[in-house]
Chain A
C-alpha cells in the first residue's frame, strides 16, 4: 500500500522476525517527577509516578496495564514511547537500548513505536483536515508513498472504517468514535510495530467502544501489531489482552496471562479490583461476598513503605509494612508481589514468603517504617 510498508517488510536479506519473540523489554523502569517548593523552589520530594517496572512485551501480543487512576499507567506509556525520559532503568526495543536516546536518534524509531491517546478530540488539531492529520506522519518522516500521500491516506481511512471522502473534512465534523478512528489511522500510517494505546476506548459509548475494540483487533491480526493497552475497565481489558499487568502506586503488583489473572487472581489488590466491577446482572446483587476496599489510593509522593497496598489490604500483616514483597513467579507466567497471595497452593505461599526473605535488595531498599 505504501512504500513505508514495503520498506520495512521487503528488504532482501532481512529475515522477518517471528511472533512470540521479545519486542520490548523494560527493566527497573523509574520515573519520578520532582516537586519544588519554598522560596528557592528546591526539590523537596518527588511524585513516584513509576517506580521500578520490569516486564517484556512479545511480538504480536497485547499486554494491558490496568490500575486505578494515578497509578502511573500513562506515565509508563509515555516512557515506552519515549515521550518522557526515564529517571532510571532500561527500555530495550528490538535489542536496542532506547532509554536515553536523544530526540534526533529517536526519530527513526518513532515510526515503529506509536501512541494512541484517550481523548480523540484533544489529540487532533482542529484546524487541520483529516487528510493533513493522517498524512502528517509521512511528511514528518519524509516517507514517499507509491501513489502519493493522498491515495495512501484515503486507503488508511478506509482501513479504519471511514470513507475516503472524509479526506477534506475537519475533526469537529466527526463523532467521538470516528475521531478515534482518525487517530488510529494516523497511528497506522507508518506501519508501526508497537502501538501504545492509552485508554483508547474509555471516552466512547459502549456501542461505539465495541466497534473500536473490534477494529483494533482486526488491525492487529492484519498487520501483526503488538499492543500495550492502557485501560481501567477490567471487562474491556479481559476482552482485548493476552497478558495483563496490574499496577498500584507506580509498581506492578501482578502480571499474568489473561486466563489465570481473571480466574485465579493472586494479588489481593487484583481480587479487590475484580470484585468491584459492576456486573450487568441483577442476580449478582444478592451476593454479599464482595470485597470493598476502604478509602482512596495514597499519594504517590509519600507512598506507604514496603507493600504499598498495605494501608488498604484486608490481609495485611506486620511483615507487609516492613518488607516489600518482590514480584515473584508463583505459577508459569504468573507473577505476583504479595506475602500472602490469594488463590495460592501452600507451595506457592511458601514460595512467596521465601522470595521475600531471599531478596535482600528489596528489604534493604525499603527499610522498616
Chain B
C-alpha cells in the first residue's frame, strides 16, 4: 500500500478522526448471556503507527482475542455489544457498514490465529486458500494469483513453493502451516497485521523461526503489527510497546523496555514473578499471584485486581471502591493503580526487583 497523499486539509481531518494509523478509543465489547453481561473488553484505548509493533499480554480470558476480533469486525452481529471507536487510517470501523469493513479485511488489515491446523480449511489446498484471499481484493486471473501465492510461500520460507502450493494443510507441519497462514495474511500487503497467539501451539525452535519471520516481514512491509500472547518472552522479542490486560481492561501500557525494566503495576509484577526465568539465577521459589482471575460477569468493585493484590490495603480503601484510571506517570508510561509514586517505587525496589 502506498501512503495516500496527505494534503493540509486531510491532516486536519485526520486529527479529528483519529491521529494514529490505528487509533482505538474506549472500546467496549460486552456479550449479553443468560448468566449476565460478560464484559470481555471494558474500555480500552491505544494507538499504533505503521512500522511499529504493539504487544498485548494478559492471562487467558483477559479480553485479548475479543479486542482483536473487534478491530477485524469479526464479531457476529447481534451477539456482541460493541461501543467506542476504532480508526483505521482515519476511518471509523465501528460506524462503518459491514460491507465496508469486509472490504478492508484481508486487504488493509489481516490476522493470523493460534492453531494453524484448524484455521485452514482441510478440504482446500494451501495454494487455493491463498489465491482466494488474493483474488477477493485483486481483480486478477487465477494464474496470476497462483504465481503470487507461490511467491508468498517462497517469501515466508516454505521450501519448493511451486510444489507445496498444491499441498493440503494436513500435509504441512505445524510450523509450515503457520508460515502458510502468514503468507495468506500478507498476500494483499495489509497495513495492519494482527497475530493472535501465533506461536502458542508451536515448539520453541519453530516459535523462534516464526517470530523471526514476523519481525523480518514487518521490516519489509512496514506494516503495523499487533502481537497477542500470554508469554512475556514472546512480546519481548517483538514488541515496541506493550499493553498488559487484566479482566478486560488495560492496566499498564508503555514501551517494552519500561515494562521489563521498570514495571509499575502490581499485576505486571505478579506476572514477572510467576515466570521462572532462564536468564537469571534460579530462584528457590516462584512468586505466584494468589487466587484466580475474576469472572467477567462479576468483575470486582474498584480495581479488578484487588482481591489478588498484595498492595490493595495501602490505598485507604480506594482499591476496593474506585476503579483506577489508566494515567500517564511520565514518559508515556501508563498505569491504572492507586498506589502513590513513593509506595510504588518502594515496593518495586524492595519487594519485587530483588526477587526477579
Contacts and interface: CB of A to CB of B under 8 A. Distances in A.
Whether the complex brings A and B within 8 Å at their CB atoms is answered yes
Interface of A: 68-69, 175, 177-178, 205-211, 213-214, 217, 232, 234-236, 238-239, 258, 262, 272-282, 284-285, 290, 292-297
Nearest to B256: A282
Interface residues of B, number: 48
B80 interface: no
Contact of A277 (B175, B235, B273, B278): B278
A235 B275 contact: yes
Contact of A281 (B59, B236, B276, B288): B236
A296 B206 contact: yes
28 contacts: A68-B203, A68-B205, A178-B292, A205-B60, A206-B232, A206-B274, A207-B59, A207-B274, A207-B289, A210-B275, A211-B290, A232-B204, A235-B278, A238-B276, A238-B282, A239-B286, A272-B205, A276-B207, A279-B237, A279-B277, A280-B233, A280-B272, A280-B275, A280-B277, A282-B236, A285-B236, A290-B208, A296-B176
Nearest to B199: A278
A301 to B, nearest CB: 14
A209 B206 contact: no
Contacts of B271: 206-207
Closest 6 CB pairs of A and B: A278-B233, A210-B288, A210-B274, A239-B276, A210-B286, A207-B289
Contact of B59 (A205, A238, A277): A205
Given A208-B59, A279-B278, A280-B260, 20 more contacts: A177-B292, A210-B276, A213-B276, A217-B285, A232-B203, A235-B278, A239-B286, A272-B205, A276-B204, A277-B204, A278-B208, A278-B211, A278-B233, A278-B237, A279-B237, A280-B272, A280-B275, A292-B205, A293-B208, A296-B176
A69 B207 contact: no
Given A211-B288, A213-B286, A278 B207 contact: yes
Contacts of B34: none
A276 B205 CA distance: 5
Interface in B274-318: 274-279, 282-283, 285-290, 292-293
A234 B233 CA distance: 12
Contact of B276 (A236, A274, A285, A296): A236
Contact of A206 (B173, B175, B230, B236): B230
